[in-house]
Structure 1
Amino acid sequence: MLAAMPPVPTPKPAPGAPRVRERGDACPGALRLHSADDGHLARLRLPAGRLTARQVGVLADAAEALGDGRISVTSRGNAELRGLADGCGAELAALLAEAGLLPSATHERVRNIVASPAAGLDGLGAADVQLWARELDERLCAAPWAAALSGRFLFVLDDGRGDVTGLGGDVTLVAVDPRTALLHLGGRAVRVAAADAPRAALAAARVFLSAARAAGTGAWRVRELPEDAGLDVRDVRDVRDVRDMRVGRDGQVERGGRDAREALVAEEVPEPVLPQGPPPAPGPLGPAALHVLAPLGRLTAAQLLALLPADEVRLTPWRGAVVVGAGPDRTSALDAAGLITRPDSPWAGVSACTGRPGCAKSLADVRADAVPGRPGLPVHYSGCERRCGHPHGDWVDVLAAPGGGYLVDGAPVPRTDLAPAVTTARTAPRTTR
């Protein structure tokens, strides 16, 4: 279980045909490591990006003792450790488990929960969805059948400001007011009580698994289901108690022996629209929190520790962290640690994949070639056409080209001319991809 797993190639479907998955996904986890050119990689799921102060210290220690001394923040607010040596899997798992970062060995890769990082801090959201995230995580880990979800299946919990609704969630919850939430699944939505929101989200995941099983295509995500798969968000009203579902030996969801039901009131909403809002800018969030960004999405162990003291730290989908319990007086110290603390920083919104030498597929050392520029649209540097870790929504695509140089939104640019080309692309009007 702790061995590094090679990547599994995924054949592309014929035009117009549904994607067929013949095996489970190969996403790395904390227990299933991925082999890369710079060593092994572990991806640690952090529901809502949340870390206690003690867990921050453990993660920094693990990066220095077992890895390359850095922590990558993913586009889902998770953490990755790179440069891990052969045979360190058991030691890493023990460290994480002792710190409460590995509550379920069977479910650790499916704990993909993103929640509005500023919820409950700045008074702008309709509900504190961070609390929903904790309950959903507990329910998810307690449901044996949920282990059948793909490591790519994503729950998104938005507090009404629309900052995370554009992240491509398979199941999306949006707070409408303190008492009400909208549950979105497959382009349709139902209205549920806020108190039922986490349970409804888990029920929606069961509806997806049932539809995927009936379709027989092995879909990992909602968007991979055939159009006639019969996915219907209204089926959450027929949710069974989580104890009544299990995963069989073939990996398929089966019903248990009990037939208890839980009532879930869910009213369909015609023509639902997801709210869309910007992510929080670097800087203060309310009176006692700060949002900072990691340079190119990667923190050194020292930079991670510089976030302390804190009541908690929330890693964000924008490759940064919300430091809860930190006032504006901490800004100078975090800036001195090399973190991005201001929206006008030339490095704000700049991210990159691993690139060379860590990734064998990369055509360039994109992290070394990345340049700052006048703030504007997010910009992502990619070493190959997979564009790993790119932002969602509208962004500037800087892609390494064969033979040297880059393509900036498709236009060839010599490496020496990247700075003006990227600045122009970040500030030029455009339509959403």
Structure 2
Amino acid sequence: MSLLCLRSAVFPRQRNFRSFLYSTTMAQMLEANRLANEKSPYLLQHANNPVDWYPWGNEAFEKARSEGKLIFLSIGYSTCHWCHVMERESFENKSVAEIMNKFYVNVKVDREERPDVDKVYMTFVQATQGGGGWPLSVWLTPDLHPVYGGTYFPPEDRYFGRPGFKSILQLIAKQWNENPEKIKESGSKVIELLKKHTAMKGVPSENYKKDIPGVEALMMCFEQFCRTYEEQYGGFGDAPKFPQPANLEFLMGFALFNRETEMAKRALEMVTHTLRMMAKGGIHDHVSKGFARYSTDKEWHVPHFEKMLYDQSQLASTYLTAFIVTGESLFEDMVHDILGYVLRDMTHSSGGFFSAEDADSYPTESSREKKEGAFCVWTYDEIKRHLGKETLEDGTALDEVFAYHYDVKKSGNVDPQK
């Protein structure tokens, strides 16, 4: 397989619609749970799981209190790839669902409907696990105090001693049955720490002028970016690599604040090189335009194929600022690229915008199972078939020019491990 990014953003949606009709017909043959009455696309995706899901609300909380059960909270959104994976592996698995239904009150939340709920429990998971993401998986006491959490869990135990979802479900249920008061006490302590962490956050103190970061803080930020900057491909840190437009905006502001200095030159070098490499790489959709959420490698080559509205808006602004600061035409082109994609594929005909485009798509029109990025990759033979008969004025085959430009090889240009 060779990577080029999305061939078309409209055609997959037509496929998705046909799949929706198909899945709806199939769904009618299955017993729906309470989520069938919800409006959220994400919750509706789980309406036919064998898991006895509840939406976030008093019905679930009262059941947990009256039956003395822990709550298993799962938070995600409709275009989340790993949410789809965990559903397929665990929530559609009858043996896993049996454990969930026996020991827990299971609650599903769409983070796009309830960002407030997501923020509380994401803060907990980030604080206890060192990172977060979706699907967000959190175990709560009946009083909604978190006691354990993580993101995606495989259904079974895996290498390096990583426990699977079934094992974690059974272990936490065992601990709860043996000593519920200890777990409640732990949950209460956690919630108090979270309250202290968020108390007065964002509210200026009486000495608010003293709270404004000074030059020393700006220098610390700049030095941190210099340490984590990746010289060859741009960006910060190793894989997975995110665009991080806020960091680039900071560096451009820093450069303007420190005009005519070596620091300003260095800051702009980091920004412009990163933006050029992103525009050149696979994280940028060269066919349908716009940017994927992140790259799975440090080269910006293989994207996580999901596209987020908030990334498009921030990156359009960052590329525009870079064009204003440098006058480089590539950056202006990227602004038109991103906004053109948003207006064409992320704008609803009745007004408003779609929040994201799914990472998963159908390999063919007849496919019934989505795969990550399936519609976004090409084989050399496909390119040859579509472009092989066309030539340039000098007789050069267009498919050869195309393959050379995008580094498409007969054996593929993507490491299968990525």
Same fold (TM over 0.5): no
Identify the structure with the greater strand proportion: 1
Identify the structure with the greater helix proportion: 2
Pair member with larger Rg: 2
TM-score normalised by L of structure 1: 0.27
TM-score normalised by L of structure 2: 0.27
